[in-house]
Amino acid sequence: MSELIFDELTGLMTPYHFYESAKRIKSWADRRGEALAIIAIRTPTISDDTFVEVSRTLNSELRGGDLLTRMSKQTFAILLLGDEKSADHLIFRLSNIIKPQLTYTRTYLDTKEELAAALERLGI
């Protein structure tokens, strides 16, 4: 069962577990009128060791309710409790901490929108 929850290389949650966890957080946020943002992070071609280090750094910079997953070989996604301004602030922090240079895009998650639709807007 753990293969459905954790990525082998990074130890981050898998996309399947990310979607399941995101449903609960979205439901909670919708009930409370809280904003949610999604950040897509793409890495250049890097070694597995560097990729793991990047994933650890990303994870260490998140707050308790935020979710981080490895979506594909060189792509991460973060579901962030907060609006696009909060996402911009996190992107600014991450871009000053993490080397190599990563590509960040972000969007909000509308209350009536499915997570998959927002991820599609980000090209994931």
> Hey, what domains does the chain have and what are their CATH numbers?
2-121 (3.30.70.270)
Confidence of residue 79 (pLDDT cuts 50, 70, 90): very high
As a residue count, the chain comes to: 124
Does pLDDT of 5 surpass 60?
yes
Q: State the Cα–Cα distance between residues 23 and 97, nearest whole angstrom.
A: 30
Q: What is the pLDDT of residue 110?
A: 83
Give the C-alpha separation, 19 to 77, whole Å: 11
Question: Does residue 23 or residue 1 have the better pLDDT?
Answer: 23
Is pTM beyond 0.75 here? yes
> pLDDT tier at 100 (50, 70, 90 boundaries)?
confident
**At 2, is the pLDDT very low, low, confident or very high (cuts 50, 70, 90)?**
low
Q: What is the enclosing helix (H) or strand (E) of 26?
A: helix 15-32
Could you tell me the pLDDT band of residue 45, with boundaries at 50, 70 and 90? very high
Distances (CA, A) of 76 to 15, 51, 105: 10, 11, 11
Give the residues across from 76 on adjacent strands.
41, 70
What secondary structure letter does DSSP report for 6? Answer: B
The pLDDT > 70 percentage for the chain reads: 98
Q: Which residue from 52, 107, 53, 99 is spatially nearest to 77, judged by alpha carbons? A: 107
